[in-house]
Amino acid sequence: MIKSEPISFVLPLLKYDALGSKTVSSLLSVFAHSEVIIVVPPEVEVSIAYANSTVIHQVPNGVYAAYNLGLHSARGSWVSFLGSGDRFISGANKIVNKRIADSKESEFISFRSAWVKTFGLLPKVSKVRQDDPWGPGILATGMPFSHQSIFTRRESLIEMGGFSEKFKISSDFEFLCRSYLAGLKAKSFSEVISLVDPTGISSSDPHLIISEHIEIITSQFPGLTSNDAELLLRWSRGWGAKPDIQLKNKKLSSVIHDIEEKLSQTRKPSNGLRIGARHFTLP
């Protein structure tokens, strides 16, 4: 029997509505013995009959301020950060515990996430996210993994200074860039363990995501223009052609090479999986 390491989950909510309730119910069902920290505004009442839950009231100052508050309150060896609407599949706890036990040398472990659409009362997985390998290419590709499916050693995250509160929605990408440059290690696994609701906080403004990503990418490479950073980002995601970047930089060259390697690999589509199929089910 695998001995599980303690995990803490941090969930900021602006209101405790049906979407937030789904996330909380998923956590209490799938990770029944883990710590759950919910960060809400002072006026929001959350009543949960669960011994390992903590509700922290904080004047809203952005999702990453709430994440940092939860991080410093957490007691688990590993920590995961969620948004309203995120859910875990049945059996995710067993998958995560096994992979943690297999990842003694890693500061991060990641899994895959699926996007969910609902037709009437029937939820359907519309797309399984294609993750990227942990390598120099992540400095330009945006989030290499879904944040819903990343588990981080709490001490490593604290040592790295937690999340920057400069960005509204992209500080997890900025944190992973810093972590890669600092030499932290990550292991990725192919199992789908989480579901992302298209109306939840994790599906926010794509234009803001791109603009913040461009700012983060340019900060990695002095002299890189915002236009070239955007072209690099779009190419790395398969949205455009390879840009002709004039900047000569050894680190940038290794990033471009890593992206070329990634794009040269054949990707098999994972669309059309239904909840309730043999792949996974909701609790």
Q: How far apart are CA 134 and CA 268, in angstroms?
A: 19
DSSP reduced 3-state for 270: coil
pLDDT at 264: 84
Choice between 50 and 250, residue whose per-residue pLDDT is larger:
250
The tally of domains found in the chain comes to 1
Q: Is residue 229 part of a domain?
A: no
With 0-12 / 13-18 / 19 or more C-beta atoms within 10 angstroms meaning exposed / middle / buried, residue 216 is buried
CATH of the domain at 142: 3.90.550.10
Q: Is residue 227 part of a domain?
A: no
Tokens of 126: 């519309």
Q: Is residue 147 part of a domain?
A: yes
Q: Is residue 273 part of a domain?
A: no
pLDDT at 268: 44
Mean per-residue pLDDT for 211-221?
A: 94
Q: Which domain holds residue 168?
A: 7-203
What does pTM read for this prediction? 0.87
pLDDT at 52: 84
Q: Is residue 149 part of a domain?
A: yes
Q: Is residue 155 part of a domain?
A: yes
Mean per-residue pLDDT for 99-120?
A: 85
Nearest CA among 157, 147, 77 for reference residue 112: 147
Q: Which helix or strand (DSSP H or E) is residue 79 part of?
A: strand 78-81
Mean per-residue pLDDT for 153-179?
A: 95
Q: Is residue 262 part of a domain?
A: no
Reported as a single tens digit per residue, the pLDDT across 110-165 is: 999 988 765 455 556 667 888 888 999 999 988 888 888 999 999 999 999 999 99
Q: Is residue 236 part of a domain?
A: no
